[in-house]
Structure 1
Amino acid sequence: MTRWNYVFGAMTVVACLTSTHALADEAVRPKVAPVGSPKTAKTQVLEAGAKVLQGNAPLKGFDVYLVGFHPMKAQPEHQMEAHHYCHQMNEDFAQCVLFDSNTANANMNGVEYIISEKLFESLPEDEKKYWHPHNGEILSGQLQAPGLPRVAEKALMRTKINSYGKTWHVWNTGHKGMAADKLPLGDPMLAWSFNRDGEAMPGLVEKRDRRMGLSTPEARKDRADLVPLAKPQSGVDALKGGFKRPTRDLPGVTDKRSALSSPPVKP
């Protein structure tokens, strides 16, 4: 049994035991609904028939739920809360569908692919600029798996240390400081990760925590023993200096280029 399968098996058992409580705590309403006429009775009948007669095999396996935050790489102050529903395809590759909430009326607003450090290092250099590092999201406590007990969540996060994500958001459905578009408009936006304290807009993380009953400070404290596992990553400094606020380094979150250029520590 692979490490991921072991972790996921334990998560599945725990999720079954706690699912009712977790779902009650997780409800987050979308900020916008797409424009359009209400469904007709004919459409509803066709949907019901399709549900009975057609399969949805590609959607099975998107069982891992994560919630975090994404700044846009070209516009760092354009930031949003992102609800990920992920399918771990193998030990090194996962694919996620992104939504603006976790209810039945959630708007799909992006996709993310997650790869291991090993796969990232195999990429052409010109491709690596599209992939953001994950250690800052994990060690800061911002990335969380709502509904999972802390021990299961930590085991999940351990498997994602040193990983990378390629994320495209295709719909601005509203976030702090920017009104929502009622339809997907414009070009896809390449998203990035927060890698320093202070990069998130004031109140963004705290509001999520209050609404969902989460605690970023507690998660950070609990994950402190993951810091020694964190290696320097590419892209940590990609947005450095691009925010309107002072920022502070996170323990264990280091840019690979900075680490290579630093003088060796004398014994």
Structure 2
Amino acid sequence: MRKNVEFGTEDGTVLRGWWYAGEGSDSRPGIVMAHGFSATKEMFLDDFAELFHGAGFDVLVYDNRNLGESDSPLPGEIDPWQQVHDYRDAITWFSQQGGVDADRIGVWGSSYSGAHVLVVAAIDRRVRCVVSQVPLVTGLENARRLVRSDHWDGLRAAFDADRRARLAGEPPAMIPVAFENTPDEPCALPTQDTHDFFFGPIRERATTWRNEVTLRSVELFTEYEPQAYVPRISPTPLFMVVATGDVLTPCDLALSAYEKALEPKRLLTLPGGHFDAYVDEAFAVSGPAQLQWFTEHLLK
């Protein structure tokens, strides 16, 4: 059974999502899930959640703050560390719900949230198992892959100008997530497959998605280094999914981070690009493999 839920974070922001709840009085293992950079829960997270729920897990899926149906104290602001804190508040709330076994909680993330769950699993020992799909692992190096070298000085100047403006009381500068018409339009995620994903058929399902984030979100992206936490995840079991043709969170960066992880760990490589991981043949392979990992470490 899926029901709409909302819960408060430590600073009072209300996050909203779905709870796929089991039946009966027995305590069940739980999985906490959120989406990536600007994405909302309707962008295929229900497919993963239904798969996990059908195998006996309670699943909490929620929209990150400032996105989707959750509260937006700073609309379009994507602060990776705030999202890490919100994951931990989500775990706290979920663990206190009837029917959920607080000693058997796993976390799942993809893309930007795939980065967050690496950090959460390393610092929060309540997490018993983690699945990280096509994750960002190094903000600066990843950004250098996405932004032309001759554009960096201008981008840094824009960050500085935005900081001065905010200090003077002006609203944060905004930038599109994806280009809408041509690749030369300024945007946060300047790849063709990002455009194709966000402006494709998913728009019919994800009606709350907005093609706009704060420029500060991009600056925070460049400063975020979840790979530093990867060696600290052990002994929590880590499952990482990497797409070999990924140009948004490049495969080689993710593989390098995986090599730094200690056991227990498992790697699954998928053909195709970043967004292929959510659908069709890739989901048919990856979904059951992820379920097996959660089952091995949370159900048994």
> What TM-score, normalized by structure 2, do the two folds share?
0.27
Say which structure, 1 or 2, has more relative contact order (CA 8 Å, 6+ apart).
Answer: 1
Greater helix proportion? 2
